[in-house]
Structure 1
């Protein structure tokens, strides 16, 4: 333990920074799919192909075999834009592989998953866009980032408003005066009468 600590201390600062670099852990890339998918136009499902690898006899494939027997046809009818392949593999654990429009692939092991878990994983693949494992790079860069934080409905509001119990009578009196439009017109009329007489 002490040798490892001595070795870590003897490292220069630059190598310590590179030791904790996230570039080696998760690769980075720019977004290659549309973020406004379905807004202002028709929705395009990003999942294009689903490959289910399953063994006909292996016990870890029981839930996957049950999902294939009971729910595969209904899933295929509901989502005709997804091509589904069932690939038999002898004495190996089951997997599901999703291929997306962006060219990315997702691989999920389904060992010892029951039917509901298999259904959950397949619908999870269906609702993704294919690249959650990448660190997404922003299209812009600044040397002086903002420190004000995320906007909330209470940003730039008085602090005492967060502690009030709503509906608050004081706030409604300020924002919604009790004088009606009819009363305001009558008051203006009376002022006009006074101006004409003087």
Structure 2
């Protein structure tokens, strides 16, 4: 059906993998995620558009048992087992001082000056664009044959102190487990609205 729009539409099995059959997993198979796979996820994430190519995301990949334990202790009770059983759980953070990197990330103009002296504006931009990058993260992992389990449900301030202590200008946005999902850990898919429910064409 999607072929009616454009010749370059992805095949239905790719759309299924990314969207229609992609799920949020609560449990994980005992199968590792390699460092190479984590690098491959980032290599896709960084290609997604952000405002002025600001790239505010800073990611900590909790892979070791110690890192997962430390993160789980700062999560809500319902999320602890998810973190401990996942091969990797990534902390998707954002750098409030992302503008310091703009001279090389966006060299076409003096974009750094747009954000100098405007910390409030930088916080808004960093949070918004790191959220975009978090969405790319989920799709990138799915595109590479992995499953994800994005979560809030943790103490942001405590996570920032524990994992971003070397750079207090970085703040956590959300966390996302990555691995091979256990099919028994998911619920029936929740309803999704039709176009007319939440959309207006003007």
State the TM-score, normalizing by the size of structure 1.
Answer: 0.23
Please, what TM-score do these two structures have when normalized by structure 2?
Answer: 0.23
The answer to which structure has the higher helix fraction is 2
Please tell me whether Structure 1 or Structure 2 has the larger radius of gyration of its CA atoms: 1
